[in-house]
Amino acid sequence: MKQLGFDALTVGNHEFDLGPSTLNDVLTAGFSNGSFPVISANLDLTGYPPLSEFIQPYTIKEFGNVKVGIFGMTIPSPLSNAYPVIINEDVAETAYATVLELQNQGADVIVFLSHLGSAIDAQIAANIPGINFIIGGHDHFAFQQPVVIMNPENKPVYICQAGSYYQNIGKLSFTFENDVVTFNEYTLIQIDKNVPAVPEIKAVIDELKAGITAQFGDVFHTVDGFALKDLETANNPDSRIKDTPMGNLITDSYRNKTHTKIGITANGLIAEKIYRGAITSADIFRSVSYGYDTASGLDFKLATFDIRGSELIKGLEIGLSMIGIDNDFFLQVSGMKFKYDIQKPAGERVILSSVRINNSPLHPNKKYSVTVNEGLLGILISLGGVEVENIQILQVPEYKGLKDYVRKLRFLYYTSEGRIKEVNQGDAADLTGDTEQNEFNYELKNNYPNPFNPSTTIYYSLAAGGFTTLKIYDLLGREVTTLVNTKQNAGSYSIIWNASDFSSGVYFYKLQSEGFVQTKKMILTK
């Protein structure tokens, strides 16, 4: 950042992932030969004074005769590991006071470096006069053009975001003349292979990668699977389907490892998406990199517990109560599905009649087994007051559980499939809940991938419960294996066929359940 000529950096919640002392160590090492301003106006550093040498509320930069005041703020997320640093929650009051201070210091233009998220940015822009530009972060949006909000003085505030992980650099230009700020231009510059690496920085990166390889193996080149499409951490904001491909994949991996009824994670605990193509071990770790286990050097460990249905609903309501405030708390699930009504008051948004645990209605007094990671466990218990029993902290890092699952699947094709759905008062049918008979049809879907080597996933749905078989036959009609041979409830299912022990050729898969019979063809190529 010093080499790039940064004028200021605001502090995000993940700067505290390894605690204030580690952040202080990083800043001490990185700024050993001088620094640029690191800023956040809503951090109370009295509990950890060394950071006050680096972090200030604001800075003022002079460009000719023009003074540009720059201040920052950090989202007060309970997911943060900031203590004993306190992240003050009174962000509006802090913004107002800091703007007044900058104006008193003679600032002609005020830029707010926000790590609060775009929803809070918009509220501050609309209610706090004096801010000209907001350079935002936290929710990782890439605005192709600034979002313009009129402030209380009916002057425009331009909100910009350039996405995540330096995939883009935002370029903003404006003119200050005769005490008037005029917006000129804004563009996103894509950072790709056409941008050459700086040799000095590349040397440092290569040294760090060598240390990781020495400890964990060649995670940068070991291929564990293949993604057939980008696996996103978010979905279309206009869609009412709110489960995400990465949320579904990660929570499915929990249950694959522990065999509990349910798997749950939170949006804020999913670090990064998995891109289409070969998936390396490093790609897998980046997606679930939060937390730090001192023994393994890896991420959060998995944890299991038992929970009553009523307490499970309480946990869901915690995440739903933060909609529009902090999407980090929104929960992703496996082994269950539910609908919620955003127009209901916080704490009453789950549509109880819609909740299904493995396609069976939720029973408030029944106990269910759940897998989460340590981070979410702490939030549910300490912050949410959710009561759980039989807590077991497993010696399994979340990364290794996901890696094993990716290796098992080999080919990943995950989508937003409707595990979580937002409804409103106009959706009469949705608000009355589900019935198993009218939600599913009998259907044997195309396997994916096809052709395949050596694994493929077969998808099917059942309109009603009944004894079900799914069998594989060769080209001569001989049964070669049985994948399903049990009673199943109405619902959607998928199952993986690993054909490593079978020769190349054409195979047929046949589904039978309660009088329904359907057969489809697939091709194994080796």
Beta bridge mates, 452: 524
Sign of CA dihedral 322, 326, 328, 334: positive
Average pLDDT, the chain: 91
Same domain, yes or no, for 102 and 180? Answer: yes
Question: Could you tell me the residue range of the domain that residue 140 belongs to?
Answer: 9-190
Residues 42 and 69 in one domain: yes
The model's pLDDT over 475-496, given as tens digits with 9 standing for 90+, comes to: 888 899 999 999 888 877 888 9
Q: What is the mean pLDDT of residues 438-445?
A: 74
Residue 3 domain flag: no
Is-contact 370 260, C-beta < 8 A? yes
**Calpha distance 61→39 (Å, rounded):** 13
Q: What are the residues facing 368 on neighbouring strands?
A: 307
Assess whether pLDDT exceeds 50 at residue 438. no
Same-domain pairing of 71 and 107: yes
State whether 463 and 425 are in the same domain: no
What's the CA angle centered on 333, arms 328 and 335, to 5 degrees? 175
Last residue of a domain, one of 431, 459, 475: 431
205, part of any domain? no
Q: What angle do CA 100, 104, 110 make, to 5 degrees?
A: 60
pLDDT tens digits for 264-300? 999 989 999 999 999 999 999 999 999 888 889 999 9
- Asked if residues 152 and 48 have their Cβ atoms less than 8 Å apart, the reply is no
Residues 6+ apart with CB under 8 A from 502: 480, 524
471 and 387 in one domain? no
Nearest alpha carbon to residue 465 among 440, 498, 444, 430: 440
In this structure, what CATH number is given to the domain that contains residue 288?
3.90.780.10
Give the domain-ending residue among 130, 156, 190.
190
CATH code of the domain covering residue 487? 2.60.40.2550
Q: How confident is the model at residue 433 (pLDDT cuts 50, 70, 90)?
A: low
CATH of residue 49: 3.60.21.10
Q: Report yes or no on 1 lying in a domain.
A: no
Residue 426 lies in a domain: yes
What is the reported pLDDT for 140? 85
Residue that the structure tokens 């249905």 belong to: 309
Q: How far apart are CA 286 and CA 423, in angstroms?
A: 33
pLDDT: is 193 or 324 the higher one? Answer: 193
Tell whether 252 and 387 lie within a shared domain. yes
Six token digits for residue 275: 């891109």
In a domain, 148, yes or no: yes
287 belongs to a structural domain = yes
pLDDT for 425 equals: 58
Q: pLDDT tens-digit profile of 82-118? A: 999 999 999 999 999 999 999 999 999 999 999 999 9
- Distance, CA of 457 to CA of 495 (rounded, Å): 6
Which position has the higher pLDDT, 427 or 467? Answer: 467
What token pair was written down for 286?
Answer: 């980046």
pLDDT tens per residue, range 142-183:
999 999 999 999 999 999 999 988 889 999 999 999 999 999
**Is 57 a member of any domain?**
yes
Please report the pLDDT score of residue 417 as a whole number: 85
| Residue 469 shares a structural domain with residue 424 | no
pLDDT for 427 beyond 80: no
**Domain match, 287 and 425 both:** yes
Distance in angstroms (rounded) separating the CA atoms of residues 240 and 238: 7
Same-domain status, 448 and 424: no
Residue 347, pLDDT above cutoff 50: yes
Q: What is the pLDDT of residue 435?
A: 43
Q: Both 379 and 268 in a single domain?
A: yes
Please check whether residues 125 and 48 belong to one and the same domain: yes
Tell me how many domains the chain contains: 3
If you search the block for the tokens 């309970």, which residue do you land on? 78
Per-residue confidence band for 430, with pLDDT thresholds at 50, 70 and 90: low
E runs forming strands in 140-203: 147-150, 156-160, 168-177, 180-190
Give the end of a domain, one of 431, 451, 469. 431
Q: Hey, what are 246's tokens?
A: 């990465």
What are residue 170's phi and psi, to 5 degrees? -90, 135
- % pLDDT > 90, the chain: 68
Q: Is 515 left (phi over 0), alpha (psi -120 to 50) or beta?
A: left
Which residues are registered as beta bridge partners of 147?
159
Q: What pLDDT is recorded for position 437?
A: 39
Establish if 199 belongs to a structural domain: no
Distance CA 132, CA 153 (A): 12
Q: Which of 487, 486, 418, 497 is nearest to 455 (CA)?
A: 497
Are residues 241 and 296 both part of a single domain? yes
